[in-house]
Amino acid sequence: MSAFIVENKTINRILSFLYWDNGISDSWNKRILDKVGFSVETEKEQERLGKAMLIMNCRGVSQRYNEKQDAKIIKSYKFVDVVLKDRQEIQVLKSLQCFLYQCCEGDTDTLELYKALKEIEVSLLNSIVDKLPEYEKAIWG
């Protein structure tokens, strides 16, 4: 398995979705983030979470290759809202899964933020499946 630092647009896509998702209701994802001390309600909070995600990604890559990641990567991070057409849940799911895969080296998967994002992955996956025509047609029981 190889690991790499994801592009800022990957993190921004995830954060933009979470902001949109939080805006429609008191969402399950909002409660998951609240439990670990994060929010996406303001651009400042999104940037804080984005940097935490990038730090976690760097930690995983550092542990994988036994080398320190350049601190400039984290300092240069800037949240930029991504316009999501029709929510693009499948693209967000794939971006989140890519991000989590790049982080899961060493002990990174024991971090509370990692665990919270894994919960969000499951929540998003369930949301996508619930909307599939095949799922709607399937019998209950």
Name the pLDDT band for 4 (thresholds 50, 70, 90): very high
**What pLDDT sits at residue 16?**
92
Domain boundaries, the chain: 8-137
CA 77 to chain centre: 15
Summarize pLDDT for 38-61 with one digit per residue, the tens: 999 899 999 999 999 999 999 999
pTM, to two decimals: 0.91
**What pLDDT sits at residue 23?**
60
